[in-house]
Amino acid sequence: MKTQKSRIRKIKHGKNFSVVEPVNLYECKFGDNVFVGPFVEITKGVKIGDNTRISSHSFVCELVTIGKNCFIGHGVMFTNDKFKSGKLGGNKKNWFSTNIGDGVLIGSNSTILPVKIKSGTVIGAGSVVTKDILKKGVYAGNPAKWIKKI
């Protein structure tokens, strides 16, 4: 049996960066006053803006950008592969990006497919975001739908 320990490798971060181990953070970038909870994995090239909080058990994959003043709840999963051909994309050229605006709140256990989410939006817990959210508001469900204006 081969085991690996959690790792923090080649990250860049601003002041007051806080992390609770164990975590896996690889070649990603964090702004000022960012908090990362335990059991989080954030992969290569991810950018997290100032004053953002990533709660425990979340996964943020390559090609994801999260804005300033965001909250990512517990167990939130980001994806970058849509399995468009019915199989794994295989490499980065077949993946898609996700862009989360500023002040976005994402409830626990949500799944975020490769999309754009407008600043100031709230995503309800357990939601599955499958399409771009270009109108600020509250969204929830599977697939996530507009619920109300903020």
Interval 15-47: pLDDT, tens: 999 999 999 999 999 999 999 999 999 999 999
The domain locations on the chain are 7-80+93-148
**Above 80 in pLDDT, residue 3?**
no
CA dist 84 and 7 (Å) reads 31
CA dist 133 and 19 (Å) reads 29
Domain 7-80+93-148: top CATH class: mainly beta
What are the pLDDT digits (tens) for 91-117?
Answer: 888 899 999 999 999 999 999 999 999
pTM: 0.95
Check residue 10 and give its pLDDT: 96
CA–CA distance from 33 to each of 4, 14, 40, 139, 148 (Å)? 29, 7, 17, 27, 30
Q: What is the mean pLDDT of the chain?
A: 95
Confirm if 48 and 29 have CB atoms less than 8 A apart.
Answer: yes
